[in-house]
Amino acid sequence: MQIYNTLTRRKETFEPLEPGRIRMYVCGMTVYDYCHLGHARVMVAFDVITRYLRARGYDVTYVRNITDIDDKILRRAEENGESIASLTERMIAAMHEDEGRLMVLRPDQEPRATGHIVEIVDMIGSLIDKGYAYAADNGDVYYRVRKFADYGKLNNRDPDEMRAGARVEVDEHKEDPLDFVLWKAAKPGEASWSSPWGEGRPGWHIECSAMSTCCLGETFDIHGGGPDLTFPHHENEIAQSEAATGKLYVNTWMHAGAVRVNQEKMSKSLGNFFTIRDVLEAHDPEVVRYLLVASHYRSPINYAPDSLGEARKSLERFYTALEGVVPQEGAVDVRFDQRFVAAMDDDFNTPEALAALFDLARELNRAKKEAPEQAPALAFELKRLGGVLGLFTQDPSTFLKGGGEALPISEAEIEARIAERAAAKKTKDFATADRIRDELAELGIVLKDSREGTTWVFETPATQDD
């Protein structure tokens, strides 16, 4: 298995620290607002990675943290006139609801920063004892960046270049402008915890160092996160953790690609910012998941109505192949499985894995017509491999009739129009029959005639052919 390591900037043969066991930590959400599409990208990417590693037989311990104390959380709670606990609990519940709808499995452990204050304080104390951190006269504690010889290795940056080219916050309490905060002294009325340096709260970076070490040990296999976290967050995690323990922090660093909206960076200032629940109000969750899975996890994704339309059309091809077949385990051509595994072993190449599944779906369609006895085993294999990607979990007929997307008219009305059309055809009133078919087509209801009668599927305007 080859995995691209952000630290070395190349694909490497993956070998876990312990044979058969993988320990993975992924930076989770700061819970002050609803999760957006960028969060969905990370959620789904590492969900697929976890599912595949387990399908390959590894015992995976997947940890994804929750940042539940942070400047943004303090500000939002004050703006809302609610307690920090009320805000964070509400947002955590919403996050779990969003990921559940996207078929994202819950991590094995979901540590919260406020639950690890003791470990955070202990790690900061160790860094001070070793000369890597210092308590300032304002009650803050800072990390000495220049003390850590390897600072910048994840991002291939030199501290002196960072100092010259970066916008560094001027703080008279710091020894060096590059130093970053480990412990923040509390302002009057703020949430705080006791420490040897006074009442305060942890800085963001130290939270993940302490939680990951506590849950997975001083060195673990994989650390993942979003594309915007390599600097400074992950760079600072490395500096803190390796200085505190004297050991390599992480073997393999993985980062998901960014989400763009109509080829632009997603941001509130551009007015193109979408929460997960915004998107799921209008689209079947599996369609959204497919869009996220269909691109390689390291590649940027462009979110646009057309791209979701294409995602739905692709899923329709799979569900059309599965429709009318009861999956049953049996003998199938092993080349489909081999192609799927080879693709996923190559840095989790989901586009190539899906290409193998499209060929399997074509073989299933052929079998349905020419060798029906082979179809159940092929359908079983398609659902089995698709399940590794978290796909093909719905009833085919339900999905093809609209699934989670709102129909423009009720199913009863559609069936009534189909019956009306059938009656018109019986009396050879083909003009009326064609008019009914065209009127339904304008609504996205596509009729399919066969010897057994007329069935229908719902296609959103974006999925229909020009």
Pairing label, strands 21-26, 59-64:
parallel
Label the pairing between strands 133-135 and 141-143.
antiparallel
Residue appearing with tokens 């979990």 = 393
Is 214 assigned a ligand-binding role in the annotation? no
- Full DSSP string of 31-63: TTS--BHHHHHHHHHHHHHHHHHHHTT-EEEEE
Q: Is 208 annotated as a binding residue?
A: yes
Cα–Cα distances in Å, from 58 out to 62, 177, 223, 389?
Answer: 12, 44, 17, 16
Number of Cβ within 10 Å of residue 450's Cβ equals: 7
Residue 352 annotated in ligand binding = no
Residue 184 annotated in ligand binding: no
The DSSP H or E segment spanning 337 is helix 334-345
Q: Which residues of 268-300 are buried (b: 16+ CB within 10 A; e: fewer)?
A: eeeeeeebbeebbeebbbbbbbbbbbbbbbbee
Helices 411-426, 430-442: inter-axial angle, 10-degree rounding: 160
* Contacts (Cβ under 8 Å, ≥6 apart) of 8: none
> Measured between alpha carbons, how far is 103 from 389 in angstroms, rounded to an integer?
10
Q: Classify strands 21-26 and 220-225 as parallel, antiparallel or unpaired.
A: parallel
Number of separate helices (H) and strands (E) present in the chain: 16, 15
Asked whether 69 and 202 are in contact (CB, 8 A), the reply is yes
Among the listed residues 227, 228, 234, 229, the one whose alpha carbon sits nearest the alpha carbon of residue 249: 234
Residue 72 in tokens: 């943004």
Residue whose C-alpha is closest to residue 114's, from 85, 94, 90: 85
* Residue linked to tokens 């590794």: 388
Residue 236 CA to residue 218 CA, distance in Å, equals: 15
Asked whether residue 27 is marked as a ligand-binding residue, the answer is: yes
Binding residues for ATP: 268
Binding residues: 27, 208, 233, 237, 268
Binding residues for Zn(2+): 27, 208, 233, 237
